[in-house]
Every structure is written in structure tokens, then in C-alpha cells.
Amino acid sequence: MCRLWQGAVASVIVVVLCADPSAQLTGDREQRIALFTRYLEPLRIQAGIPGLSAAITSDARIIWEGGLGFADMEARSAAAAHTPYPVASITKTFTSTLLMQCVEEGRLNLDAPIRTFTTTVPDANATVRQVLAMASDAVAGSTYRYDGDRFVALTPVVEACTGVSYRVALARQVLDRLGMADSVPGHDLDAVTDAASAAFEQTTLTRYRAVLARIAKPYVVRNRRTMLSEYPPKGINASAGLVSTVRDLARYDAAIDAHVLMSSSTQLIAWAPFRLASGREAPYALGWFVQSTVSGRAVWHYGQWPTFSSLILKLPDRGLTLILLANSDGLSSRFPLAAGDVAVSPFARAFIQAAR
């Protein structure tokens, strides 16, 4: 019954993704988005990215996808829309989804003390909401500070709410539900372990390993020299660890817009900027960055490892989303994205201009 229901949801996503092209972008903006796709290659090269995969969706339908450069430079294997990458901190948006589902089902109070679930957050008064909003530093609720390590404290919150491990919750509640068949809840599932066998069916583990066998190679680029490097930590938690493709993330994007994962009212709460104790709005909401741009609201997140980087940029007022995954830190490390302005990324800046 559950599988039938999941299949139906996945079908809805497929239908949304394959909707009538004539109903999508038209005219000047379409030309500008097409122009933007030609910016990607020179920006990729200048950013020092060996392989870049990209997808652009309009009203939940992929209008452009592709790969530039190499997923594996040694094997001369081209990057593509189906190339898997560690998405790094884009995982946080999935954590937000899981927690907001718990809230919607009445199984979690966002204003509950985080100490109920973990002792890793120093401020005893910090709430789940404040940790989710990156506002639990110093005196909880008083300041915004992007802290990926602090966000890990939300892992036991998800586990307490769902009753299963974070990775299983992610797989069941989002990945399987949306038919994200090229996504894996943790790079460490490439190893055969008892814990993995206990958590997932063998066919699922076989699929995960097949995806991970295609994962992009990790690179460090310094002074225009590209060097093969190490994969980031392979485990998964509330902060990072998901492996996915731009095509699968487009499904996720479509599901968000279709309110498959949570109701529109819950989504509004998740995307409302966190109000600090001073009354000022933080640039972060609940697991997402939010800001105003010349193309309306931007809801976004970036990811950064030393050898991988990522960006998902939604422009809800334009119905447009840009998804980028890279096998170096080139999408993120040079740009102070943690401060909350996505326009410091040249990729985002050009996309926002194209969407005007």
C-alpha cells in the first residue's frame, strides 16, 4: 500500500516535470535564461571547477540540464545531469523538510529546548527553531551565525521524531517518495555493513552502490592546477552527507513547489526569515537562506566541502530554480555566501539577472 502511494507521488512529480513546454517560459525571459546557460562554461573555468552539472527548472519542469567539464578527469568521463555528487549543505534543506513534516504531524514543537534531544549545544535555553535558523550562537536567538557543525545537533531531533535513523528517515520520507533513484543517504553506504543491511533492503543497497560507483571524483584546484584529492567524510547527518544529482534535485524542487512534502502554509513558515531578539530579520529561515533580489524573493542554499560544492537557488516569484553541483570547491569557497547574500556568487548573480 505504501509502495503504491509512493509510486503515485513519484508519478505526479514525473507529470509535473514533463508538463507542456508551451506553458512554460516564453519570450524575453526564455532568451535570457538560454543566454545564462552560455555563461556557465566560462564561469566554470574561471571558478576552477573540473566538472559542473546544472539544471534549470521553470514552474517545476526542467527547461535545461547538462554537464560541463569532467566528472572524472583521469578517465575523461564527462559531467552530466545524472552525475552523482555529495551535495554537502544542501542536505540541510532536507533536514528542514523532515522537521517541518514532524511539525505538521504534531510530533515536534520547534520551540522545544534542543537539550531535550542533545547536549551538544552549549546554550541550555536554545530551541530547535533557533538551531534550525542558525541563531543558537552566544545568547540563543540574538545573533545569526552560519554554523554547519551546530546544525548536526538536529540529527537526533529528526531521529526522535521519526523513530528511525536520519538516513532512513531521509530515504523514506523524501528520496523514495519522490522517486529520487540516483540519490543516496550517505556515501558510506558504498561499504557493506551490518547496519546498512539492517536499515535497507538488499535491492536498495545494490542500487545505492551502483549510484556511488558513478559519483564524481573529488578535486582541488590551486593556481589553475587541478589535483585529484580525497572524498569528504562519507557519513550523513542533519548538516551534510546526501549524495544526489541535479536531475534528482529538480524532482525535489518540483515536489517543494507542488507541496508534496509539506503544505503551503508549513512551507511559508520554513521560508520566513528568522526574527532575532533585536527584531531584525536574519538572512536565514528554517534550513534555507531567504532574501530579496531584483528578481523577487530568493530561497537558496549552498554547499561546500574542500572538494565539492553546490547551489540550489529558487526564485519563487519567477517560478525558476537553478541547481548546480561541482566536483571542487569552486562554487562556494571564494564567495562569502554564509553572510546571506547569494548575489556574491557569479553563477547566482547571472541567473538572477537572467530571471528579471
CA–CA separation, 162 and 247 (whole Å): 27
Alpha helices, DSSP H only, in the chain? Answer: 2-17, 27-47, 91-104, 128-132, 148-151, 155-162, 166-170, 194-199, 202-212, 246-257, 264-270, 346-354
Query: Count residues contacting other proteins (CB under 8 A)?
Result: 20
Kindly report the backbone phi and psi dihedral angles of residue 287, in degrees, each rounded to the nearest multiple of 5, phi listed first.
90, 5
Q: Is 306 in the site for other proteins (CB under 8 A)?
A: no
Closest separation in Å from C-beta 101 to other proteins: 36
What is the amino acid identity at position 56?
I
User: 181's torsion region: left (phi>0), alpha (psi -120 to 50) or beta?
Assistant: alpha
Closest separation in Å from C-beta 291 to other proteins: 17
What is the amino acid identity at position 66?
G
The correct pick among 10, 16, 43, 342 for binding other proteins (CB under 8 A) is: 43
Could you identify the residue written with the cell 571558478? Answer: 47
Q: Is 349 in the site for other proteins (CB under 8 A)?
A: yes
Q: Which is nearer to other proteins, 45 or 258 (CB)?
A: 45
Q: Is 29 in the site for other proteins (CB under 8 A)?
A: no
- Distance between first and last Cα of the chain: 45
The H or E element containing residue 65 is strand 61-72
Q: Which is nearer to other proteins, 195 or 344 (CB)?
A: 344
Binding mask 46-85 toward other proteins (x if CB under 8 A, else -) reads xx--------------------------------------
With contacts defined by CB under 8 A, name the span among 56-64, 240-248, 295-303, 341-349 that binds other proteins.
341-349
Closest separation in Å from C-beta 32 to other proteins: 6
**Interface residue list for other proteins (CB under 8 A):** 32, 35-36, 38-39, 42-43, 45-47, 334-335, 344-346, 349-350, 352-354
